[in-house]
Amino acid sequence: MKHYPCILTIAGSDCSGGAGIQADIKTISALGAYAASAITAITVQNTTGVNGIHPVPPVYVKGQIEAVMDDIRPIAIKIGMINDTEIAHTIADCIEKYRPRYVVFDPVMVSTSGCRLMENEAIEAITSSLMPSSTLITPNLSEAEVLLGYPIRDVATMKTAASDLLKYGSKAVLVKGGHLENGSMCDILQIRGEETPYIYEAQKVASKNTHGTGCTLSSAIATYLALGEPLPEAVRKAKEYVYQGILSGKDIHIGEGHGPLNHFHSPVPMHILDENE
């Protein structure tokens, strides 16, 4: 029996289509896998910012996850925005119950426009219940600073931060340095048990169309893991996908703020796996 590699994204909905669940589904589909989703919150937002967040009741978040896991059994789960403590614990309980092979957690705390998206109580909940179950967490500099309580301004501090964030229990940490003060593009991957971090550098693309890049990157990593890539290679391929998406979408005008990248710059056919894969 053959099947598609499936990734479940658990995240908030972006009505403007550039981030959140919508970006995740586009990314997973563009990379040739099957996307399922569980919505944690409905947001009122567009390319200029977030104007409202309405959490989905935890019982319905749980119901969505269980419906997908009981039937389709995804290889990987990507977790995005969580705005509510009870939802965080609900997701953690589901992960404990189903134990998916990979969990990629993007702790979305601050939007591209600078809006704070997560309550303080929810931050405590995700660090204690979700991060220990994660294969990888992918905070950007602002989120890493919230979690660690000190400023991160250069690559040396990023390396320290990546190592320090392992205290929350994940198997690996990817600190995203897209907003370094010197304008460089550098991400640091630290894997538990390994002394030397992986450093990913890329040329910065001059574009304001960066809405949803974090969502897209974490979904791409989860997809490549589901397709059998080892973590360092999954990160490398995901970063290249995002880079090409920004590059090919930099001159497109969608909205008056931070527009989306081009998720379908180079779509691939659906992957088909044998039952034993």
Q: What is the pLDDT of residues 44-80, one digit of tens each?
A: 999 998 899 899 999 999 999 999 999 999 999 999 9
Within 76-225, strands assigned E span 76-79, 102-105, 136-137, 172-177, 185-191, 198-202
Least confident of 95-109, 124-138, 198-212: 198-212
The pLDDT-based confidence of 117 (bands split at 50, 70, 90) is low
pLDDT tens per residue across span 129-157: 999 999 999 999 989 998 999 999 889 99
Kindly list the distances between the CA atom of residue 90 and the CA atoms of 22, 80, 182, 257, in Å, as whole numbers in the listed order: 22, 14, 40, 34
Give the C-alpha separation, 129 to 82, whole Å.
12
Measured in degrees and rounded to the nearest 5, phi and psi for residue 43 equal -105, 150
The catalytic residues are 176, 210, 212-215
Indicate the average pLDDT of the chain: 92
Query: Percent of the chain, pLDDT > 70?
Result: 94
What's the CA gap between 231 and 216, in Å, rounded?
A: 16
Stated as kind and residue range, the H or E segment containing 247 is helix 231-249
pTM of the model: 0.96
